[in-house]
Amino acid sequence: MKNLLQKSLKPLTVFAFIVFALSIPTYFLLVEWIWLKELDENNDLIAQRIENEFNNQQISDEKLEESIVFWNEIQSVGRIEPILKSLQNDSVYTIRRQNPYSEKEIIDRFRGLITNIEINNKNFTLTIETNVEETEETVAYIAVVTLFFFLILVIGFWILNKRFSKKLWSPFQDTLQKLKSFELSKHTEIQFTETDIIEFQELNTALDKLLQHSITTYKSQKEFTENASHELQTPLAIIKSKLDLLLQKETLTDRQYQIIEEINRALTRITRINKNLLLLAKIENQQFNDNENVHISQLTQQCLEQLTEYSDNKNISIQTDITDNVTIEGNKTLIEILINNLLLNAIRHNEQSGQIIVSLNKSRLNISNTGKTALINEKLFERFAVSSSETTNSGLGLAIIKQICNRHNWTINYQFTDNSHLFSICF
């Protein structure tokens, strides 16, 4: 992942390099155009000067002819030739050929002009060629200098932007750190730092309103959970005790006894569902925030011993491979509930005279049991979801297991292979 500064600077830098690359041919065409334009003006001025100088001499036609021959001999790249009729338009051209003034073989460019001049009232054509300086070399020098200053600009921009952004984003970083340290269960309000940046100030205002609402909602949910735990458990316990008294003391017909037993089982189920729902609400409301080093090896052995009676009723054999002195950091109450629910689930979905295998090491807890059909993986950890044909449970056991794993940032996986259910928890 990249921070915001890198994400914004990278495309800007790439765009700058593209603009720089496109500027090179632009420089070349512009310098070429300016260069040729200036040479054309220079050749035109030379033609005017030659015409004026010959006319100012006021020499005879014979002397003029000798002067033109002499001028043509000393000018290797220009000529004056007589014509009968004056040219209507000047001719401009560019040619590449050997430089007559260089002893080495050097092919240069020449900018030429063929124009009409009038000397002693006679028409002549004047050809002038001027050496064109190498435009490529000029553009190369300009490009190198431009690249040098471009690199200074980009590097300076990166450095200045990084330093400036550190100061600019300091209110945001302060807000982020306070949000990371915020704990809803402590009901502590966050005092955001005042800033003169409108966007950050609006962000702090919105976060403050959101946190105030979250704290108020959390308090309400916690009060509801505590009240529900107190108000519901007591009447349920009273109803159950009255039913037990009715079964023990009253003379009942078989049908009446059967109805009361069904009511009693339904009441027991309601009590268990109520207890599990309250537990889920407490976990989601982060009411189990205390962490400690839990000796999970010892805790797993204790849970196995407590559930021996349940496993013996189905004649289930239990094999263990538990590494000694394994400790993890977490809430001991929740971890004990997690292990008990997994073991009860393994017993409930087991076969008569089946088998349970429990293995534990520093990184993983595995609990597997024999079975005939796989659980419905898509609905496995949903509340009240039917994950198998078993209907005696509340449908909340695996949901509680999932919430406890989320609370500790653990992952839980399920698979069914070789007629065996396997739940794995990675610490």
- Residue 411 pLDDT > 50: yes
Question: Other C-beta atoms within 10 Å of 404: how many?
Answer: 26
Closest CA to 383 of 365, 369, 401: 401
Assess whether pLDDT exceeds 60 at residue 307: yes
Predicted confidence at residue 6, as pLDDT, reads: 65
- The candidate with the shortest Cα–Cα distance to 374, out of 309, 418, 317, is 418
CATH code of the domain made up of 292-426: 3.30.565.10
Delimit the domains of the chain by residue range.
4-153, 199-284, 292-426
pLDDT, tens digit (0-9, with 9 covering 90-100), for 189-242: 788 888 888 888 888 889 888 888 888 887 777 777 667 766 777 787 888 888
The domain made up of 199-284 is a member of CATH 1.10.287: yes
Express each pLDDT in 363-400 by its tens digit.
999 999 998 888 877 777 777 665 555 445 556 788 88
* CATH of 4-153 given 3.40.50, 3.30.420, 3.30.450, 1.25.40: 3.30.450
**What pLDDT score was predicted for residue 230?**
66
What are the residues whose beta carbons fall under 8 Å from the beta carbon of 98, sequence distance 6 or more?
Answer: 105, 106, 107, 108
CA–CA separation, 346 and 343 (whole Å) = 5
208 neighbors 190 (Cβ within 8 angstroms):
yes
Give the pLDDT confidence score for residue 391 in this predicted structure. 45
CA distances from 241 to 212, 244, 251 (A): 44, 5, 17
3-class secondary structure per residue, 59-97: CCHHHHHHHHHHHHHHCCCEEEEECCCCCCCCEEEEEEE
* Contact indicator for 283, 407 with CB cutoff of 8 Å: yes
pLDDT (0 to 100) of residue 88: 81
